Amino acid sequence: MHQLTHHEVPTSGKRYPIRVLCPGWRDPRNVGSVFRLADAAGLAGLVLAGSTPQPPNAKINKTARSTVRHVPYHYVADAVAYLERCRAAGAYILSLEITSASSSLLDYQLPPAVTTGEQEVILIAGAEDAGISPEILACSHHSVHLPMHGQNTSMNVAVALGAAVYLLVNQLEAGAGKPD
C-alpha cells in the first residue's frame, strides 16, 4: 500500500443535485473549505448570501486550493428571497440545524423525488456564531442535524457540512436517480 499522488487519484466526474447555501458566514476559511467540499463531493454548486465572503479573497483561495475555478457559485443578497424562488421552482429546502423538529442525519431519509433525481436540494448551513435565522428556517421543508455526543452542542460549519453532505450523497448513490 502507498499513498496516491494527485494524478493517481481516480475521480468520477459525478455531479449531485445539491447546492449549499451559505448565509451570513464570516470566516473566509470556512468558505474556502466549502468550495473544496463541493468539488470533492461533486455538488451542483454554492450560493453565497448576505455578508458571506466571496472570491476573490486570499483566505478563501488559500483554503479552497483552486476549487473556486471549478465549483459553480453565485452570490445573492437576500437568502430568504432566493429560497422562496427555489421552493416555488420545486427545490427541496433542507436546513442543517438542530431544531425542535430536526431529524438526525443518521436516520433521515431524503424524499423519493430527491433520490430519483427529480428534485434539487438546497442545503443550508448557517452562520458560524448564530446558525440559521428563523426567517430562513421558515423557508425549509425540514431540518436535520448531526448527533452531538459530547459536552458541546455544535461543530465547525465546514466540518458539519462535510459529514452532512457525504451522508446525503450516500443516499443519492443508493437511490434510483444516479448523478450525471
Question: Domain limits at 74?
Answer: 15-146
Q: How many domains does the chain have?
A: 1
Has residue 163 been placed in a domain? no
Has residue 48 been placed in a domain? yes
Amino acid type, 172: L
Contact (Cβ atoms closer than 8 angstroms) between residue 25 and residue 128:
yes
Has residue 52 been placed in a domain? yes
Burial of 34 (0-12, 13-18, 19+ CB in 10 A): buried
Between CA 113 and CA 160 the distance in angstroms is 25
Q: Which residues of 59-72 are buried (b: 16+ CB within 10 A; e: fewer)?
A: ebbebbeebbeebe
Has residue 74 been placed in a domain? yes
Grid cell in block for residue 9: 487519484
Question: Which H or E run contains 92?
Answer: strand 92-96
pLDDT at 176: 47
Whether the full predicted model's pTM is greater than 0.75, yes or no, is yes
Amino acid type, 145: H
Has residue 25 been placed in a domain? yes
Grid cell in block for residue 64: 479552497
Has residue 86 been placed in a domain? yes
Residue 97: CATH number of its domain: 3.40.1280.10
Has residue 167 been placed in a domain? no
Flag residues of the chain having pLDDT under 50: 176-177
Has residue 57 been placed in a domain? yes
pLDDT at 175: 81
